[in-house]
Structure 1
Amino acid sequence: MRRLSDKESVLSPVMVRRLTYIAAGPVGSYAPRDAYPPNIVEQLRKAARVDLDHAVRRLTLDGPALLTQGQDPRTAGWDSDANVLWEIHRSEGRFTRQQLAQLVGGTLADKHSPGRLAQLLYPTSHDLFALLLLFCLEIGMELEAARELTSGCLKNPNRGYVQVEYLKRRRHAQEWNTIRVRDGSPNSPGGLLRLALRLTAPVREVTGSPALWQFRTKNGILSTGLSPGTGSHMAQSFVSVHGLTNEGQPLDLCLSRLRKTYKAAVYKVTGGRMSAFVQGHSPDVAAAHYADIPSLRDLHEQAVVDGLQDALSDAQAPTILTPQEEAHLVQHPMDSDELLGIAAEDLPPLLSGESDLWLSSCRSFFDSPFSTKGKPCPVSFFACLGCGNAVITRRKLPAILAFLNHIEAERARTPAAEWAARFGKAHRQILQLVIPSFSEGDVLSAKAIAESSEPLLFLPHNLLGGH
């Protein structure tokens, strides 16, 4: 076999580059782009709004007002901002400083610079960057799709909403899509696009291109779009002009993070509800690329805590057996496992009252969640209202309502903190869980019994019988 020389390789240069890229780390081990935190978003919004307000005033008031004062500089003279602006307008924005310098010299060309004056009639890339930034923060559209919006993107305006038609090239065979957004106000997605249409109209009239983001460069070129390179350059300029910082350092403004920033805000507002979060992509993509990011970790951890708390609350809640369910079990005792979680042979003591305690029946008085198996339940009688062993039937309503009267009377003579610690949970359980489970007639009858002059006494049979 022939030995390869040092200059020869069995791998092509392309393959070498690919292997070098992969060798830099495990595929997929990169840190995900995170959303910007709220304080950074507020900085971005404020700075972009300043730029946009300035652009609107310049292009809709100051520029047109100065243009009306202008005359043909060939007869009225070149030593006038208004006359030079008149010539810029006549040349459809293409008149440059170099052309003016050839006519009147460099000093006068600097004084009445077409690069400065043209900004009174035609938007700059800086103006459009502010608009695009606000739009992406408001709608969360993919950056490449937002850059390719056209002058006809707004469809079907209706009652404060409008559809935005956009091209998503990554979605093969379904590239054209629409999204319904708020419209009208200057801060709404629809309103921002209407501002873009108004400010870019003079450029579009000249170029004839349907592209939305059109502007004039300093050297008189009418550009028909914001390229990725232009966007990155303008992001750096935007940060520098406004002095935006993050933890004392200049802000690293990455436009690809804007979509995640919007998605993270939606995720927080909806509490992670995926049906509101998956707009524009599949649930798998939404979860992997937009929900699984560092800035949402606290929300996810809190969701786990809330879930555990809900599970604990369910475990501590008594079972309410309505009269209808009780009658059903009399006829169909084999359903006791589904309704009560007990075997059919353990059902009779619950239905007959044999296993009754003061405020409820008990699935197993000697298998309490508050004690070891085989020993009697050691907690106060009203702890039944927070016990998963308890089964509350209609016959316990009088005792429960009598107890409710007692604890409400105690509220008047007990310090608030002490009352809440002793009776607060039981009070909530009675009002929010027990009473709403029974009919108005059952509750009224039980209330009448509870208010009888004869005191109610409900104790376990095993205690009365001397067990």
Structure 2
Amino acid sequence: MRRLVANLYPTTLDLHAFRVLLMDSTGYTPEEVTGFGEADVELLPKGVRLTLLKNRAGRLRHRAFRDQEQSDPSGCPDDAIGGQLTVDWPRREASEVVRQLLDVTARVRAKAQDVTDTLFVSAAVRPNYSDGIVFGRWTPYHPGTNFRRWLTAMEVNVKGDVHIGRLRKSVKVEKAIVTEGRIDAVADDHTEETFAGHYAQGTTLRILSGRTISTAQQHWFDKALDRVDGPTVLGAEHIAQRSLEDSGLSAKEAEDIMSGQLDMGVSHCKNPYLSPFSRAGELCAVAPLRCLECQNAWILPSNLPQLLLFEAHLRRLRALLMPQTFTRLWGQSWVNLQAVLEDRRPEEIMEARKHIEDGQADLNFPLAAHTEFDA
């Protein structure tokens, strides 16, 4: 009797496969993919729209699942075969699974008209054969026909706890890989906190997260290397005008630098009217305080005494301001200045300090530079 009924109607073991396929194609929970009836299905030209109910969260959602574009396995385009494409490999689209489920359970649903909230209905034979064939709601947790028995019948070996809910973690991992680890895209049917607490503990996601972080760090590191956040420093070997022109300056700019026409204090400026700190066409309003953060600045050996005076000014501010405030206001200038001074030879430093002591070098600051606030 059981073998005969199994050939005529879907059994409990048959429906386990449909639940697995629906979870795989939709990514939703076992209760959601088995909790919609015929009235909750809307077949679309290229997909299906389902009404899903999540009991634990008490949420009713309407979700549309689109079919994937089909392609010929031989690589031939559709028009090469007359516009008709016939495929014989398994399809994982939710619409195809739902269509087959509707077809398989049609006769059972016709005999169990009181069950309208689910497509998962089956036929069974009682042990004593007294009730004949029983048509009704699917019972996936019966000891003789539960998920474990289905895995055994399909010869599928599962390590760890044999629970259908674990399949959802696999779907989440697959989605995380496809979306390159974006939690807002993966956690589309629950909160990001739920995803982090229940699904982000697997080895695959940890590796993926590490890869994402490393990629982001490398991106910003490469961007930092490509960006020049400071002046161009020239040594004594670059002072010749032809060498300045070879460095990217025009003949006029090189001549003005050599003659001191573009001296801004701690450096020479390629064009003080194209300052990144002021409006285009206006004279730079922050020189010499921000010259060490400007790409227009060119530092020559003759600027070394002024650089030492500027270092003394920053050291005074560093002692007065909170570390966070100093780093925010002067951190980039301080780092660039130290890098410039470290490239100078000790005898150059001594000669520059002698010029300062003899009163042959000075550095004029605007009045505002002598007052700093922590606000």
Category of TM-score, reference length = shorter chain: 0.5 to 0.7
> Does structure 1 residue 280 correspond to structure 2 residue 280?
no
CA–CA distance in structure 2, aligned partners of residues 202 and 377 of structure 1: 91
1:235 is matched with which residue?
147
1:58-79 Cα offsets, whole Å, 9 max, x none, are xxxxxxxxxxxxxxxxxxxxxx
Deviations 1:396-452 (A, max 9, x none): xxxxxxxxxxxxxxxxxxxxxxxxxxxxxxxxxxxxxxxxxxxxxxxxxxxxxxxxx
Shift of 1:283: 2.1
Counterpart of 2:296 in structure 1 is 351
Matches within 5 A, 1:255-274: 255-274=164-183
Return the match for 1:217 from 100, 115, 124.
Answer: 124
Q: Are the aligned partners of 1:126 and 1:238 in contact in 2 as well (CA < 8 Å)?
A: yes
Equivalent AA in structure 1 for residue 92 of structure 2:
N
| Shift of residue 352, structure 1, vs aligned partner | 6.2
Q: Give TM-score scaled by structure 2 length.
A: 0.55
- Tell me by how many angstroms 1:257 deviates: 1.0
Shift of 1:138: 1.6
How far does residue 270 in structure 1 lie from its aligned partner after superposition? 0.5
Q: In 2, are the aligned partners of 1:367 and 1:377 still within 8 Å (CA)?
A: no
More displaced, 317-326 or 212-221?
A: 317-326
Structure 2 counterparts to residues 315-330 of structure 1, below 5 A: 315-319=224-228, 328=279
Give the superposition deviation at 1:325: 6.4
* CA–CA separation in structure 1 for the residues paired with 2:187 and 2:152: 35
Q: Which residue of 2 aligns with 1:69?
A: none
Q: Is residue 62 of structure 2 the alignment partner of residue 178 of structure 1?
A: yes
User: Aligned equivalents of 2:16 and 2:344: distance in 1?
Assistant: 70
Which residue among 12, 21, 36 is the counterpart of 1:134? 21
Aligned to 1:152: 39
One of 100, 109, 120 as aligned partner of 1:195? 100
Say if 2:6 is the partner of 1:119.
Answer: yes
Note if contact 1:128-1:213 (Cα within 8 Å) is conserved in structure 2: yes
Deviations 1:292-323 (A, max 9, x none): 43431111122232233233223322239999
Amino acid in the other structure paired with 2:342: K
The percent of aligned pairs where both chains have the same amino acid is 20
Q: Cα deviations across residues 322-370 of structure 1 (Å, max 9, x unaligned)?
A: 997658366263579xxxxx943547x85365569xxxxxxx999679x
Measured against aligned partners, the alpha-carbon deviations of 1:32-77 in whole angstroms (never above 9, x if no partner) come to xxxxxxxxxxxxxxxxxxxxxxxxxxxxxxxxxxxxxxxxxxxxxx
Secondary structure of the 1:254 match is coil
The aligned residue for residue 49 of structure 1 is: none
CA contact (8 A) 1:131 1:196 kept: yes
Q: Hey, what does 1:20 align to over in structure 2? A: none
Amino acid of the structure 1 residue aligned with 2:41: L
C-alpha separation in 2, matches of 1:375 and 1:366: 12
Residues 375 and 224 (structure 1), Cα distance of their counterparts in 2 relative to 1, 3 Å cut: same
Correspondent of 2:282 among 331, 346, 361: 331
* TM superposition shift of 1:165: 0.7
**RMSD over aligned Cα atoms:** 3.9
Residue 199 of structure 1: how far off its partner (Å): 0.2
Deviates more, 1:140-149 or 1:223-232: 223-232
Write the distance in 2 (CA, Å) between the matches of 1:240 and 1:188.
26
Q: Distance in 1 between matches of 2:64 and 2:111?
A: 31
| Aligned amino acid, residue 265 of structure 1 | E
SS in 1 for 2:49: strand
1:221 and 1:144 map into 2 onto residues whose CA distance is 26
SS in structure 1 opposite 2:342?
Answer: coil
Alignment of 1:421-440 (within 5 A): none
Q: Which runs of 5+ in 2 are unaligned?
A: 69-89, 127-131, 231-270, 302-331, 346-375
Partner of 1:375: 342
Aligned residues: 246
Q: Secondary structure at the match of 1:217?
A: strand
Higher helix share: 1
Question: Which residue is equivalent to 2:129?
Answer: none
Q: 1:295 to 1:202 in 2, by over 3 A?
A: same
8 Å CA contact 1:365–1:377 kept in 2: the answer is no
Structure 1 gaps of 5+ residues are 1-113, 337-341, 357-363, 379-467
